[in-house]
Amino acid sequence: MSREGPVREPDEEPPSPPAGELRPTGAGTLLAWAAVGLVGGWALHPLCDRLGVVPPLVSGAQPLALLLLAAILGYVAWVTHRAVHVRRERLETHQAVNRLVLARASALVAALVTGGYVGYGLSWVGDHAELADERMVRSFVAAACALAAVAAALLLERACRVHDDP
């Protein structure tokens, strides 16, 4: 009885397992997510006009929610940095993974939202609609708050970094 499959030479070593190393979230990835948001945000205004629907208003609660997200991420980043890098404590594995996942997901979604608000705000430039200026200004304020959330998420990701001991 013969087995089919790749035949391995006796001198070959089995392939080594991949290194368990994560790279920081790259600027290209964040810019790609922001570009998708920019296109989506910009397309919302003309799409609403074509469908005969009133384009959405940006309320004051939306930038405040993004600012709250930035504050929470910033606080968690500060606490994590103090624990890991200042006091040299080891985080529990599940804590470290949870914080890293929170940082990555928040950075990507906040970049998408930043682009969305910038695109929506730009779509109102030069429009003579009644609330165009208000929509534009509030969109840019919300984009600035979302950008703060991106920065805080990247700080949290950086705080989760540990250096191997020699």
pLDDT tens across 39-85, in order? 999 999 999 999 999 999 999 999 999 999 999 999 999 999 999 88
The amino acid sitting at 31 is L
Percent of the residues in the chain that have a pLDDT greater than 90, as a whole number = 66
Task: Return the pLDDT at 9.
Answer: 57
User: Residues 120-140: what's their mean pLDDT?
Assistant: 91
Which residues, 6 or more positions from 99, have their beta carbon under 8 angstroms from its beta carbon? 76, 80, 91, 156, 159, 160
Burial of 10 (0-12, 13-18, 19+ CB in 10 A): exposed
* Token digits of residue 73: 């991420």
Helices (H) and strands (E) in the chain, counts: 4, 0
The predicted structure's pLDDT at residue 89: 85
The mean of the pLDDT values for the chain is 88
> What's the pLDDT score for residue 111?
98
Identify residue 93 by its one-letter amino acid code: T
Q: Which residue has the higher pLDDT, 6 or 61?
A: 61
Output the CA–CA distances (angstroms, integers) from residue 153 to 49, 97, 116, in the order listed: 35, 14, 18
Write out the two tokens for 144: 């600035």
Average pLDDT of the segment spanning 7-24? 63
Q: Above 90 in pLDDT, residue 1?
A: no
Q: State the number of CA atoms in the 13 A half-sphere of 56 facing the CB.
A: 15
Mean pLDDT value across residues 77-94: 90
Straight-line distance from the first to the last Cα atom of the chain, in angstroms, rounded to the nearest whole number: 51
The more confident residue out of 128 and 68 is 68
- Which pLDDT value is given to residue 39? 97
pLDDT given for residue 88 in this prediction? 86
